[in-house]
Structure 1
Amino acid sequence: MDGGTRWIELDGAVNARDLGGLPTADGRTTRRGRVLRSDNLQDLSVADVRVLLDDYALKNVIDLRSEAEVRLEGPGPLTRIPSVTVHQLSLFPEAGSRTDVAAGADAGTDADAGADVDRALPWRDERPAGHYLGYLTDRGDSIVAALRVMTRTDGSSLVHCAAGKDRTGVVCALALDVAGVTREAIVADYAQTGERMEAVLRRLRASDTYAADLDSRPAGAYVPHAALMEKLLARVDEEFGGTLGWLAGHGWTPEDTEALRDRFLAP
């Protein structure tokens, strides 16, 4: 674990970092080695797995991809580690075991042949914060479950999707907001993925699951703009009275909040 950076250097993932070291509004910081975030974990090397197990005591993986993405990409190496539990918590409405609802309705192709990559990789400069709010509308259950996994005390948790940007960015932002991290730091963490975007795109273009969607759009459409996360958090404030207000409407309790803060925050 490199104390000078939050990036986690891995052979098989390029957007992995630690959510520790972020400032809170009351002058505290988030703890290192408690919650990690990343892009897809399918290509982790044996050495990568050892880093996550030995340096970060990884115990729980929060996989935000759809059932279709998981099926098309195949099982990753962490699914073969008995001490690691993988929690598949899609942020899309799932329909049975084949694909997302929207994929079957919009793609116009065999549902078994393609993941809903247009929703999985929703990168357009003109995209409104409403797309991210769709995650909250469609799968509040998955978001609450993901945050509860982060409260577990048996080791670190790692949350990821395909790029580690949109779905992962929203879930991590909400968790950090509950922990009391400053809005500036939350937005900066979201935007930090931009430093690795070129490498993320290279990885995803090597996968048949995502390549066609990526190639259909201009290169400049993929940058994570800070203003988008700012707008999302402002909308949550306006419409739900903040992250805790939204979570409370989905079964989140004060005990959950205390557990998440205890897990995230340094004394």
Structure 2
Amino acid sequence: MRDLAWDGYRNARDLGGLPTPLSDGGMTIFGRIARGPRRELLTATGWQDAHRWGLAAVVDLRCEYEIGVRDGDPAIEPDAMPAVQFVHAPTEDQDDPEFREVCFPILDSPEYWHHNWRILPDLVLVSFEAIAAAPSGVLVHCSAGRDRTGMISALLLANAGVGPAEVAADYAESVRAMAGVPTHSPTGDRQASWGDDEVSGWLLKTMPIVEDIAADVDNAFAMIGASSVLRARLREQLTAAHLRQPNAGSGDIRC
């Protein structure tokens, strides 16, 4: 039920349906936040699928140079796309010297996540502010929908009370979904050539990292500089039966 069958768009999942003691129903709520890869992979039918899901906003975590149609992407007529709010909220500054030195060798691993919010906390904060301010029915995506989207999704889920093992399992689903799949990204992705053996070995190493991050979510948000009001708003998006309208306390979008 969590997998989203949007045409042309593999590795798309609803963040609803995961166990949490913070929701009256005992599960994160469907239809609030989805995760996925680059939106240019959606076909016209896929956009309509997303519209039926309730898509109202897209928060794009990519760098500016990554955005746009590439060879192999479906051709979409402008009138085929539903009216959606687009927010560009990159989590990375790839010109930052420390980020390049520390993170570039491990950009396809959750090892880099805590370095991202340590080195560039303001950028990661803006991403969360954008999600908090978005209308219900928001798609969060990067390129493969695995690493940057994985980082943001892991913290969203942990903040909503989802246990570390379930958070890590959600990350693992994206690794499996994108292994052996070209993402039409301008940068290389070694996982695009992986088979089952490489994936299994990788997850043995990386799932414990994700679990540790999820278990220490309070420290992560403290380093990012997220206020209690922002965290509450993010938590409500996945746990509250009825959402309040975003307000100034949720944080301005600086994109």
Contact preservation (8 Å) 2:156, 2:235 = no
Corresponding position: 1:42 with 2:40:
yes
The CA deviation string for residues 34-90 of structure 1, in whole angstroms up to 9 with x for no partner, is 00000121121111111212x222222121222222268499969985732222222
Aligned to 1:131: 112
TM normalised by structure 2 equals: 0.74
One-letter code of the match for 1:259? R
Aligned to 2:137: 156
The alpha carbon displacement at 1:235 in A equals 5.5
Count of aligned residue pairs for this structure pair: 233
Aligned to 1:83: 83
Aligned to 1:111: none
Aligned to 2:64: 67
One-letter code of the match for 2:42? L
**Structure 1 residues without counterparts, runs of 5 or longer:** 107-117
Contact preservation (8 Å) 2:154, 2:214 = no
The alpha carbon displacement at 1:102 in A equals 8.4
The alpha carbon displacement at 1:264 in A equals 0.9
Distance 1:148 1:208, change over 3 A: closer
Contact preservation (8 Å) 1:133, 1:232 = no
SS of match in other structure, 1:87:
strand
Aligned to 1:246: 220
Aligned to 2:54: 57
Aligned to 1:202: 181
Distance 1:73 1:235, change over 3 A: same
Aligned to 1:234: 212
The CA deviation string for residues 126-157 of structure 1, in whole angstroms up to 9 with x for no partner, is x6x53222222233223222222333462311
The alpha carbon displacement at 1:13 in A equals 1.3
Distance 1:235 1:121, change over 3 A: closer
Contact preservation (8 Å) 1:60, 1:85 = yes
Contact preservation (8 Å) 2:36, 2:139 = yes
Question: 1:147 pairs with 124, 128, 133, which one?
Answer: 128
SS of match in other structure, 2:149:
helix
The CA distance in 1 between the partners of 2:89 and 2:70, in whole Å, is: 16
The CA distance in 2 between the partners of 1:235 and 1:182, in whole Å, is: 11
Contact preservation (8 Å) 1:19, 1:36 = yes
TM normalised by structure 1 equals: 0.71
- Cα RMSD between the aligned structures? 3.6
Aligned to 2:247: none
Contact preservation (8 Å) 2:118, 2:223 = no
One-letter code of the match for 2:208? E
Contact preservation (8 Å) 2:3, 2:12 = yes
Distance 1:7 1:235, change over 3 A: closer
Distance 1:43 1:235, change over 3 A: closer
The CA distance in 2 between the partners of 1:46 and 1:84, in whole Å, is: 14
Alignment of 1:87-126 (within 5 A): 87-95=87-95, 119=104, 122-123=107-108
**Structure 2 residues without counterparts, runs of 5 or longer:** 242-255
